[in-house]
Structure 1
Amino acid sequence: MTAGDLLTYYDDRSGERFGLTAGELGGWAAATSALLTEGGLGPGDTAAVLLPPHWQTAAVLLGAWSAGLKLSIRGWATAGLTPAGDPLDVTFVERRRVGHWLDEVPAGRHQFVLGLAPHGEATGDVPDGYRDYISSLRPHLGVHPPRHEIQEHLPAVADGTTYREYAQAAAGVAERNGIRAGDRVLIDTAVQEQPLIWLLGPLSVGASIVLCANLDPSRLDARIAGEGVTKVL
């Protein structure tokens, strides 16, 4: 366990382990917010995030929400789109899925692709009409974006749930699962795909996250011990 990690990401298929402190995750989220605001986006604009649970997804989500955007997250892992024909201001798409979804993803004013490579490496093969998220983000790391006063009555997600209601839902997730401040929560991404559960629930009460993709059950006990896990979802 790395002392101070707020979010630790494992992929047992690739062997990746990547940890971020609260300051580091906040820096990635702030850079994402700066990237979006520089592009003229702000409160009320719409984003589709077609990404699996991942530490980079956490940065995209937190950055987009801090910029005041409304996110499409219906059917998180496979859809997440606003109804056909509705305009989108920005889309974030996993590179390996672009070919499958290209006809389904509405055109956005801004379109970013993420390779989700280990340790935040840039995507080498960027489809036409897209920008690489990592390459676009790097100039903004360490830059403080303009702060938007989040209007709690505005929708945070496409179904109309407001920022206030979404925050209450996150706190409810923590309460139902017995997550408390200081807990270290291990989450299997194959089981928990919704960001209310794998990201916002733990963060809402001051818990830290061990996010595990392609989890190898034979490694579970050692990981729980090594990471100081206190709760498993």
Structure 2
Amino acid sequence: MPHVDASSAPALTSDLAAGGDRPVLTYCSDVTGERIDFTAHALGSWVARTANMLRDGYGCEAGDHAAVLLPSHWQTASVLLGAWSLGMTLSIRPWATAGLPIQDGELDWPLQTLFVSTRRLGSWLEDIPDARHRFALDLEPDAGLGRRVPADYLDYLAEALKHPDVAPEQQPAWQAELATADGTSFQEWMDLATDLARSMELRAGDRLLVDADRNEQPVKWLLAPLAVGASIVLCAGLGEGGLQQRAAREGATHVM
């Protein structure tokens, strides 16, 4: 996969699609036994479906605000990259799996779109802000389409599959626009990812093993490796000592 230029953060779909059969993301869980491997092209297809869903299905465009209340997961990668490829501004909650309540004022700005895990809908239901479009993601490996998605939410997987897996027409680079609601621009976000990759000495062809339960900030587990052409092994449910054992099995060159 080609390196992602810092100015092209909202257009990652094309970069992924150009990567062909190169492995780019593996998601696995030592709790459920789930494992799924994505080539750059396969992940790019999901990113493209997400972007097309948001743009053509629900009228989203650059500058629209979305909240992403999701744990580290392959579907989260598709959501983030798909929304960013349209130039959307995201509010990302890296504590999504911790069960912490949403505080007053945290998500008060107008929301176009909301993505939330069904794992947390029960505990957050009264706190979840209103949004024009609300997508629920059932992240269990045996979920199936719509099995545990509440009636007043859209099923992300089912909706995304209705749309083509070809990247939307290339958008101009939105370097100065906000990637995240904390005021970080796309240029700053990708510069940070690139600097982080360099600090970890990540290079093209490296394989980064990530403890999904301890690393929920996507600039670490997603953007930093993609920025330099490294692949990602995102693993949930690692027990004591499981990180190094998994790293050996996966042939990881770096761990996080």
- Using the TM superposition, give the Cα deviation of residue 139 of structure 1 relative to its aligned residue in structure 2, in angstroms: 1.5
Amino acid in the other structure paired with 1:93: V
Indicate the residue corresponding to 1:121 in structure 2. 144
Contact 1:120 1:134 in 2 (8 A): no
Indicate the residue corresponding to 1:60 in structure 2. 79
Contact 1:29 1:63 in 2 (8 A): yes
Contact 1:48 1:81 in 2 (8 A): no
Per the normalisation by structure 1, the TM-score is: 0.91
- Using the TM superposition, give the Cα deviation of residue 80 of structure 1 relative to its aligned residue in structure 2, in angstroms: 9.9
Residue ranges of structure 1 left out of the alignment (5+ in a row):
none
Alignment equivalent of 1:156, drawn from 155, 179, 204 = 179
Root-mean-square deviation (CA, aligned residues, Å) is 2.1
Q: Equivalences for 1:176-191 in 2 at 5 Å?
A: 176-191=199-214
Contact 2:115 2:137 in 1 (8 A): yes
- Using the TM superposition, give the Cα deviation of residue 175 of structure 1 relative to its aligned residue in structure 2, in angstroms: 1.4
Residues 206-228 of structure 1: per-residue CA shift (max 9 Å, x gap):
10000010113455445323322
Indicate the residue corresponding to 2:169 in structure 1. 146
Amino acid in the other structure paired with 2:252: V
- Using the TM superposition, give the Cα deviation of residue 192 of structure 1 relative to its aligned residue in structure 2, in angstroms: 1.1
Residues 109-160 of structure 1: per-residue CA shift (max 9 Å, x gap):
1110000132883231221321000110112142442332231100000011
- Using the TM superposition, give the Cα deviation of residue 184 of structure 1 relative to its aligned residue in structure 2, in angstroms: 0.2
Per the normalisation by structure 2, the TM-score is: 0.84
Q: Equivalences for 1:62-141 in 2 at 5 Å?
A: 62-77=81-96, 78=100, 83-118=106-141, 121-141=144-164
2:188 counterpart SS class:
helix
1:203 counterpart SS class:
helix
1:37 equivalent in alignment to 2:55: yes
Contact 2:68 2:93 in 1 (8 A): no
> Hey, what's the Cα distance between the residues in 2 that align with 1:81 and 1:53?
24
Q: Which moved more, 1:82-91 or 1:148-157?
A: 82-91
Residue ranges of structure 2 left out of the alignment (5+ in a row):
1-20
